[in-house]
Structure 1
Amino acid sequence: MDSKQLLAFALDKVDDMKARDVVQLDVRGKSDITDYMVVCSGNSKRHVQSIADHVAKEARHAGEEPLGYEGQNEGEWVLVDLGDVVVHVMQDQTRDFYDLEKLWG
């Protein structure tokens, strides 16, 4: 998948799991690491973990092995690195504290 297809895929997968306040950030030219970031919220630790698990599992089924998968045990902020797209799933308090939209937007 190219980066735009991967972005659409990630957005679809977080939507499958009813992620809230989904934001996509185009960081091309701002980051050498990735092209897009998806930032979304879950209602609880378990919801955050489930959203991230779903994204990672579906990526594997689509032939896109995640390059990284961090924060699963804590469930406050789980990151799924798909290469050209990095998905950040956060609880509200953590999301407000780090404010990635302001940092990268």
Structure 2
Amino acid sequence: MDSKQLLAFAIDKIEDMKARDVIHIDVTATSDITDYMVVCSGTSKRHVLSIADNLAKEARHAGEEPLGYEGQSDGEWALVDLGDVVVHVMQNEARSYYDLEKLWG
């Protein structure tokens, strides 16, 4: 998949799990690491982990092995690195505190 297809795939999979307030940021001009950053919220630790787990599982099924998956132990913030797309799944408190949209947007 190219980066735009991967972005659409990731958004579709996190929306399947009822992720809230999904936004994506094009970081091609500011980052050599990834093309797009996706930020979304989960309503609880379990919801955050379910969203991230589903994305990682579906990516593997589609032949896109995640390069990294962090945050499985605490559920406040999970990150799934798909290479050209990095997905941050956060509880509202963590999302407000780190404010990635402002930092990268």
Give the TM-score of the pair, scaled to structure 2: 0.99
The percent of aligned pairs where both chains have the same amino acid is 80
Q: Measure, in 2, the Cα distance between the counterparts of 1:16 and 1:9.
A: 11
In structure 2, the partner of 1:42 is: 42
Counterpart CA distance in 2 for 1:94 and 1:72 is: 15
Separation in structure 1 between the aligned mates of residue 14 and residue 68 of structure 2, nearest angstrom: 17
> CA–CA distance in 2 between the matches of 1:37 and 1:54?
18
Amino acid at match of 1:80: V
Give me the whole-angstrom Cα distance separating, in 2, the residues matched to 1:77 and 1:37: 14
1:30 matched to which residue of 2? 30
Moved beyond 4 Å, runs of 4+: none
For structure 2, the 5+ residue unaligned runs are none
Determine the structure 2 residue equivalent to 1:80: 80
Q: Is it true that 1:98 corresponds to 2:93 in the alignment?
A: no
Structure 2 match to 1:17: 17
What is the aligned length?
105
* Cα shift at 1:25: 0.4
Q: What is the rounded CA distance, in whole Å, between the counterparts of 1:55 and 1:38 in structure 2?
A: 12
TM-score, L = length of structure 1: 0.99
Residue by residue over 1:30-84, the C-alpha shift from the partner in whole angstroms, topping out at 9 and shown as x without a partner, is 0110000110000000000000000000000000000000011110000000000
CA distance in 2, matches of 1:37, 1:62: 20
Cα deviation for residue 29 of structure 1 reads 1.1
